[in-house]
Amino acid sequence: MHCRNCQRDIAEYSNFCYFCGARQHARYAEPPMSKRLMRSSGDRKIGGVCGGIAEYFEIDSTVVRIIWVLLVLMPVPIVPAFLGYFVAWLVMPLAPYPVYQPEPPPVTPHTTQPA
């Protein structure tokens, strides 16, 4: 993309020119990415709820599972812990499955065998 004021080359989705500071009107502005709380489709043991919570907060899913087990083992919140998991399983949408892209096999040079 070129600056409309100084005609220098700048990044495609820039709002301002790096050189002269003139405001740019980007034709295609990308929307900001937002995180959504979704059940995990890859890191799941039962319903993917703990894996989805771990992905949302960017922590290890084992930590979330240990916290959930500790909540279940407490004397008072047994019913609320199971009920909360079940409600989360029903309400949280399932994340799309990750796309598998196999890596190409390594290229090895051919060696000829003497006859």
Tell me: the pLDDT tens digits for 20-51?
888 877 555 555 567 788 888 888 888 888 88
Same-domain pairing of 43 and 90: yes
User: Do 59 and 92 sit in the same domain of this protein?
Assistant: yes
Nearest residue to 96 via CA among 13, 11, 38: 38
In a domain, 60, yes or no: yes
Query: 9 and 57 share a domain?
Result: no
Domain-located, residue 50: yes
Are 57 and 16 members of one domain?
A: no
Are both 47 and 75 inside the same structural domain? yes
What's the total number of domains in the chain?
A: 2
pLDDT in tens, 65-114: 998 888 888 777 667 778 888 888 898 888 887 666 677 777 776 666 66
Q: What is the pLDDT of residue 30?
A: 53
Tell me how many helices (H) and strands (E) the chain has. 3, 0
CA-based nearest residue to 39, from 87, 101, 82: 87
Range of the domain at 85: 35-96
Each residue of 47-67: pLDDT tens digit? 888 889 998 898 998 999 998
- Kindly state whether residues 88 and 46 are assigned to the same domain: yes
The model's pTM is 0.55
DSSP secondary structure letter of residue 9: B
Same domain flag for 48 and 71:
yes
